[in-house]
Structure 1
């Protein structure tokens, strides 16, 4: 269960019960410094943390717990490395605990409201625009549980820069805004960034042809059939069913409630959006065939005709408006209501969307909103029982904790253009739930599955050297982070958070835990976005805040 407070029956999270002191004395020469309360400070980060303790009136060692979800082996291991690093000082006494995913998300979403004494290990899926990395986790309008600002961090200048960046169209101006913003967030360190992961799919060379790994987590199966992007996958055997895997159970079919990569991955072939983002970050038509800006806050979309949902109902502008407005009051409200004001239906296949404010990355944002039938919004279709979209595959079967199965949609709207067949060549796509990474490797080697999205990183070199397999790697549009309980002392002091961030063994995490897969991350925007995290900027940040 989630640990929500003093009344928990399993185990109460350890909370700091140390008496506050007005200040601590320090004595020593260069190198190791000893305080007059018997604490040795062996490095600049430790001295910075201790200075934060002094300002917060807290005496070390500070007790806390670092959490990870039980299903993600890599996350568990890097959490334990951070625990070991902090316990190696005289400043902290850190326990480690894992929770099953649903309980873990409950803990994370409610940690600030419940004032949990918790450090948490998680990640952002940043997508294709810098706003997607900074708004969810740091804007004061994005407090969890409806947003991803898990520790309810507030900073007026941060809010101003986020608002200014998202409303700015000029590229050079945006770069300047996001550099200032990132430096402020590193200085404040409400979260410490650890790693930008790679997206890696490994498949059997004798069975699969045409597969291409997509950079954004949660879209691993996109290239099975993406006609507007000009990609599709074929089985080169006489089989009609592609069998892949997923690392955890599918938590939700509902886009407004899904909070994990696996749920997005499972429904990615089932739902479609107005626009789709290509492998290079360009917006492409999907359910919208044309779109343009009328003025600073108005966009008009021409919708594809002849499209129907898996129920046989026609797709119209009414479905678009109902989908957008269904986000209001939902856990994913800010995904839409950060920019959406209203929509005017101009015809069955034309809609005008009015924005709350000028919004630079609207194309990217609209490409992340799966369109559902109006019947879902008005309650006449229960999406929790049977998900329905317009996508190239329709829902067939879900056995919780076992498998997820989709079948080709024979009535899909694609006409066979763009070098992609009119209907998906693969008739059935099955994802088997395989939680253990070693079991995923064994299933691939035995031919029980055709591809895996979660090969153990320690196996990459072996599979890359074997002609029977293809290891398809691309830099991921995401970042892993350590989150702090910044609503409680001493973690309310930026020096404490920044000092911990300096102690995180990033290079060791990448090499020892992920076997070289990924890139060190110091800033909230993934270093894959060189426009906003260029080498010179990153070098300056490292020199000033991590050296």
Structure 2
């Protein structure tokens, strides 16, 4: 894909391009380095969004995400920050979905003009399984693909292994219990420590072991999970400046960063670390004091399931939830957690309140999104070290427990004997469940054996040779062969995943929007989808996929009609813009 873009740029006569490639984990380390934004490179990377439209704008463009995932080139524009905030934060958009959609349309139009990033296409997530795997359905986010299929009563989704009967039109009445499923992951598991990792493969591995307070169905609706129930108790129409009296004063560095080792929950909106020697910030203790005094945007109360057991035998309580939220401070997930979260407060043994800084249209899904960890383990390890390579086996409440891991080779989990939904029964565990009496009380597969095989062709061969039962992310050129075979099933769905390039906006000449617009017109989106991905994708004429359009645009068809001409391959228009840039330089 990158080579096609580079070739297109070269053909104009205005560019000399060089493509550099790296092993995946090395590359992620490079592009997330805060110094990366100064080198003038154009990174290309894939990102998985969510059901929330903000994940297709804020992650790439909000100034609070500089150096995090995934504002890679230091984009800092107060106007787009304000537009994105106005589409997400405030009582008006939290209560009016139509207004929220209209404001996001303003975001998409602004980004189309400024062209800080170019989303090339939305992925079609695919997986291939042999016919021993029954009941599988694609989930629109790769990192939840197997955990969703293991056990999702919200959609009556369950998969099982039956090596005597071929999958195809399997029904719940055909379900058989037991067996071990063999999978292949396309990259090494870099971390078993959820707040300290953000790559898809690590999350895939963690989702066997850990669970959240809530879960989603395939349409994005939110259901209580580790929380038996939850409710919005209070909403206050406040802005972040309301926290000024609770803020602490800290210094700044010569590089224009805030000089503190504590998590900055928020910065005073009138202060600038780049310009001021001192700035006012809200630190975790300050945030808790504000919430206790009644200064907060939203207050959600989560009533925990009782009798939920961690793999080490501890019972889940409010202490585990609060400890998890404290553990996320200064982690990889901190920027996308503290863009909304104010604080987590224990009410009693089985009740926790999560507070949002200001009214947030995404709070219901975002606040409870963390995988819940065990407080005893958190106390015993250094941050980021919940990992067998550090001698710390991960401990969660999930349906499977850690069994074995050999770095860069394989990973195994086995069914947890005391999994809480099986102890309670699915109907008792989930008051919202109104499915079939045949639906099981928990996953039915005994264990998973995961081979780590980075090479797509090798994974494809392993599947064809019967060495594994299922994998994902194969070269699209091979999918038609699997489709034509009666021995395999190919699954696909448009996802929240997208690939993009991002321009080094702080390095000349990329600080000129016309240059960025020109390169955007040189991206052959349709050729990329058809020739590189064999049709398994959709050109990104707008920055928002189908799954987030409900709250992300007032009219998806009208938005595409408006923005598509700005994203189409158009060498003539690109050269006009390049001539203008050249004339002014």
Q: Does 1:187 find its partner at 2:113?
A: yes
Q: 1:209 Cα shift?
A: 0.9
> SS at 2:461's partner residue?
helix
Matched ranges for 1:482-501 at <5 A: 482-501=501-520
CA distance in 2, matches of 1:196, 1:380: 39
Is the 1:228–1:284 contact (alpha carbons within 8 Å) kept by the matching residues of 2?
no
Query: Which residue of structure 2 aligns with residue 295 of structure 1?
Result: 234
Task: Give the C-alpha shift of residue 423 in structure 1.
Answer: 4.2
Aligned length: 468
Equivalent residue, structure 1, for 2:559: 537
Residues 275 and 366, structure 1, Cα contact 8 Å, conserved in 2: no
Deviations 1:217-258 (A, max 9, x none): 211212342244332211002772100111111111111221
Query: 1:154 is matched with which residue?
Result: 76
Which residue does 1:85 correspond to in 2? 8
Aligned-pair CA distance for 1:113: 5.1
Instruction: Normalising by structure 1, report the TM-score.
Output: 0.82
State the alpha-carbon separation in 1 of the partners of residues 559 and 189 from structure 2: 39
Moved over 4 A (4+): 111-114
In structure 2, distance between residues paired with 1:227 and 1:527: 22
Shift in Å at residue 276 of structure 1?
A: 0.5
Indicate conservation of the 8 Å contact 1:403/1:433, yes or no.
yes
- Structure 1 residue 528 displacement after superposition: 4.2
Alignment correspondent of 2:407: 400
**Separation of aligned partners in 1, 2:318 and 2:108:** 38
Distance 1:544 1:476 in 2: 23
**Among 218, 239, 243, the residue aligned to 1:279:** 218
Who is 2:448 aligned against? 429
| Structure 1 unmatched runs, 5+ | 1-77
Residue number in structure 1 paired with 2:259: none
SS at match of 1:397: strand
Aligned pairs (5 A) from 1:42-441: 78-110=1-33, 112=35, 115-145=38-68, 147-167=69-89, 168-169=93-94, 170-205=96-131, 207-229=132-154, 230-237=156-163, 240-296=179-235, 297-380=298-381, 382-385=385-388, 386-414=393-421, 415-417=424-426, 418=435, 419-441=438-460
Question: What TM-score does the superposition give when structure 2 sets the normalisation length?
Answer: 0.77
C-alpha separation between the residues in 2 aligned to 1:545 and 1:471? 31
Shift of 1:315: 0.6
Offset of residue 148 of structure 1:
2.0
Deviation at 1:119, TM superposition (A): 1.2
Contact in 1 for aligned 2:37/2:74 (Cα 8 Å): no
2:518 and 2:128 map into 1 onto residues whose CA distance is 38
Q: CA deviation at 1:411?
A: 0.7
RMSD: 1.8
2:445 and 2:139 mapped to 1: Cα distance? 19
